[in-house]
Chain A
Amino acid sequence: MIESVLRTSRIIMDKIIEENPISDSLYKSAFIRMVKDPSTMLALTVVMIYTVTAILSALGMVATDWNLEVGTSYAAPSLEHWLGTDIFGRSVLTKVIHGTQVAMSVGFFTCLIAIPIGVLLGAIAGYFGGIVDDFVVWFYNTLSSIPSIMLIISISLIMGRGLLAVYVALGATSWVNLCRLIRAEVMKHKNREYVQAAHALGAGNARRLFRHILPNIFHIVIINTSLQFQTAIKSEVILSFLGIGVQGQPSWGTMIDDAKLELARGVWWQLFAATVAMFIIVLAFNILGDALRDALDPKIKGK
């Protein structure tokens, strides 16, 4: 009796599947949506260009000779030096490119540190609730009550100045927002039917959380990453401007800092180059973040 019911239902299921070919996955449809939007494509292209530039620079294929004197001190932009030279006669263009490497690496490594922390803590807190949740909430509330720039300054003073300190300082302080979002989302999902079904099938906590819930909320992580990336770039510029960021190599922040002494002489190109480079990448990431949210968030989808 039971066997025949099961057989019938399987036949019905197969038929339904046959008649309705699998609709596009969330990511595939999001991708198609984004490709259709020209401003998103432009933003994506800009990010790709910056990324490639940064990688080439990191591999030593471009802008390795940023410390080389190529002209006179403070030569104005010309055909020979497209963005002019700085106080020591070094090419501002090469410095901007090297600065791109610094900025992108800060964005990348900060995300690499902040996102696992945010996802893990948020997921655990939301899933288990109770005392675990209380502890995580207390922890990130305490952390976010400290003004972030002060915290970053103190971390980089303790660790000694330099790029590594910037990665760690920014990474360790910028996971709170993501953690909050993930926690709320996990709370929402943990009692949904598909999780209960997994539970009924005997899936343990870890499997339910990481195998079932997380993939369903991962779009939040992606959206957040693109916003986190540009925040990190801006923070690095601020830190370097204050003299506690990158040491011994050019960064957009130190270039803007240099400009403090240059503007009175009418030397504007270093400030110009660094701010424009920063402006473009931050704008691109913002557009990309918006587009990702539009495409990935099921609630906004279709509006």
Chain B
Amino acid sequence: MFLVLRSSLTWLLLIFVTASCAKKDDYSQKILYERIEQNVKGFDPIHSNDYYSSREVGKVYEGLLEFHYLKRPYTVTPNLAKEMPQVSKNGLTYTFKIIPGVLFHDDECFPGGIGRELVAEDFVYSFKRLADPKLVATGWWLFDEKIKGLNEWRNAQKDTAISDYSASIEGVKALDKYTLQFVLSKPFPQFLYGLAMSFSYVVPKEAVDKYGAEFINHPVGTGPFTLKVYSPQTNKIEYYKNKKFRDKFYPSEGEESDKANGLLADAGKKVPFLDKIVSYIMVEHNPAWLAILKGEIDEFKLPKDNLSQAITDMNGPTEELKSRGIEVVVERALDVTYSGFNTQFELFKNNPKLRQAMSHAYDAGTANELFYHNQGILAQTPIPPGIAGYDENYKNPNVGYDLEKAKKLLAEAGYPGGKGLPEITYDNLSDTLARQMAEFFSNSLAKIGVKIKPIFNTWPEMTKKIDRQSVQLFAISWIADYPDAENFLQLFYGPNASPGSNNSNFNDPAYNALFEKVSKMQDSKERTELYKKLARLGSEQLPWIFGVHRMNLRLKHSWLKNYKATEFKYGIEQYWDIDLEQKKLKKPQL
């Protein structure tokens, strides 16, 4: 009875949803329908610091570089730049050549309404905008103290009525119409990732001058799609293909599995493939879920708490999804969860055996099963898959569930069966999942006689405690700022101790020395090897009890082609394609 009621309710809802967005399906054009989970702040690259805004900005605007759509580990590749930059020997000067003939979108801000050609000076202007203190750009942190002369320019503008954009800056210069030069104030090889992020995308001065404060709603870029005006009140955004888009081609190289997955079928073809994108802002989960089932949207991100809606306990898609031709794509998050030791805390400081015992007592595999549907990857070092320096074959000898070994090590550490060991406090956040995980953690360690007392905190309480180094053991995670192992390895770097990001206050001279050397190196095979070595060196000393590298699940309809999961979604829609034949066949049956 209950089942009948439930399914009839679902149908009623479905009918309601379909009736409310009833429209004649148009199969003459390639239209992508997608869902945006939050309201978009607008279309100004320098303010696109949230995931949702940056993704929309990436459809209209472009930068010098972009993240390669197919290659993993994530690498950057030229976009508006003709090729990768020439880097001076001291690693401070980067010289870019820009593709000639790239046009801005047609817009009223240009004479005659025709978009003009992009020049190097536009980048100089865009970087000054990012630094302009009057605009309070949310993306400024990315280049703060990194580019020579830019901070000085920024400070000088603080006291003026109108910012002086004509002043020349040593760090960002247009050498000629198509040549752009950056000079950094210190070696920062990760600078190139910054150039692929939405903050550094290029905007035309004419549009900023014409629209002023309204520029955020009048995007004028060089990107693959155009948008006339954006209204913050709307819950539907429509983009059209940029008919004057330059000759840009679908990548012909990728990961090994890409060919088999059909991701290289369009290699070398001109992008974008889509004629139009319709983005619905749907904050609520349930209407979006019904919309993907009905094929009203083509792609969808499953909230973390609802994984079981889409996958069974056997980790395959549910029957319902299979019957509707919906595919589940696992998207690897660039992160790591861990329980950090405060290595300066007396109990843990000079007792590696105790840390090893606790590490071996923690049953990470079962935790993965209980909390992540077995989709997480058990971490051996902080570096997650998808980043150069992740070593698939490496197994950390001090990580892995082994109760017997744990008991033995605990005895060797001087606490046989936990005797004489004081109760250890374990700081956590106080949400439901964190509470359950803390319970699991303390149960795990109780099996060897280690008493754990979970303490639950709000986020500010927790960070305050960690910053003051007044924690003993704490559960937290790290999400990459940019896809470079350096971003994870700095978590073990001694001088970064709390209140820095090395919140386990780990300090090993050998590690510090090697880190200082590696962090200044440009991307190379040699550097990747050193990353691996460094990761092992730090991880085997167990500043943490390692958790997992997490994932997101995305659902997509089978007619959406060239779909590859990526953490960097700037402008990826230009590579997507809709198989109209397939959609015409399948959609009416849903």
Interface of A with B (CB < 8 Å)? Answer: 67, 73, 87-88, 161, 243-244, 247-248, 254, 257-258, 260-261, 264-265
Contacts and interface: CB of A to CB of B under 8 A. Distances in A.
A44 B396 CA distance: 61
Interface string B107-128: 0000000000000000000000
Nearest to A161: B456
A243 B432 CA distance: 8
Give the size category of B's interface with A.
10 to 19
Given A73-B370, A87-B436, A247 B443 contact: no
Contacts of A243: 430-432, 435, 456
B275 to A, nearest CB: 37
A161 B457 CA distance: 9
**A73, A248, A254, A260 — which one has the most chain B CB atoms within 10 A of its CB?**
A248
Interface in B454-478: 454-456
- Indicate the member of B308, B433, B454 with the most A CB atoms within 10 Å: B308
Q: What 5 A-B pairs are tightest by C-beta distance, nearest first?
A: A243-B430, A265-B308, A264-B306, A257-B432, A260-B432
A264 B305 contact: yes
B579 interface: no
A260 B304 CA distance: 12
Contacts of B436: 87, 258, 261
B309 interface: yes
A254 B435 contact: yes
14 contacts: A67-B443, A87-B370, A88-B440, A88-B443, A243-B431, A243-B435, A244-B430, A247-B456, A248-B439, A248-B453, A257-B435, A258-B436, A260-B432, A261-B305
A73 B453 CA distance: 23
B439 A88 contact: yes
Contacts of A67: 443
Interface of B: 305-306, 308-309, 370, 430-433, 435-436, 439-440, 442-443, 453-456
A247 B430 CA distance: 11
Contacts of A260: 305, 432
The majority secondary structure among interface residues of chain A is: loop
Contacts of B455: 161, 247
Nearest to B428: A243
A110 B255 CA distance: 64
Contacts of A161: 455-456
Contacts of B306: 264
Given A161-B456, A247-B456, A248-B453, A88 B370 contact: yes
A73 B454 CA distance: 22
B296 to A, nearest CB: 21
Name the residue among A161, A254, A264 with the largest chain B CB count within 10 angstroms: A264
Interface centre among B305, B436, B439 (most CB of A within 10 A): B439
A254 to B, nearest CB: 7
A184 B185 CA distance: 76
Contacts of A265: 308
Contacts of A264: 305-306, 308-309
A244 B455 CA distance: 10
Nearest to A241: B432
B454 A247 contact: yes
A264 B433 CA distance: 14
B154 to A, nearest CB: 40
B433 A261 contact: yes
A265 B312 CA distance: 10
A261 to B, nearest CB: 6
A241 to B, nearest CB: 9
Contacts of B454: 247-248
A244 B431 CA distance: 10
Contacts of A254: 435
A280 B497 CA distance: 53
Nearest to B437: A87
A257 B456 CA distance: 14
Nearest to A73: B370
A248 B451 CA distance: 12
A88 B369 CA distance: 11
Contacts of A261: 305, 432-433, 436
Nearest to A264: B306
B65 to A, nearest CB: 40
Nearest to A243: B430
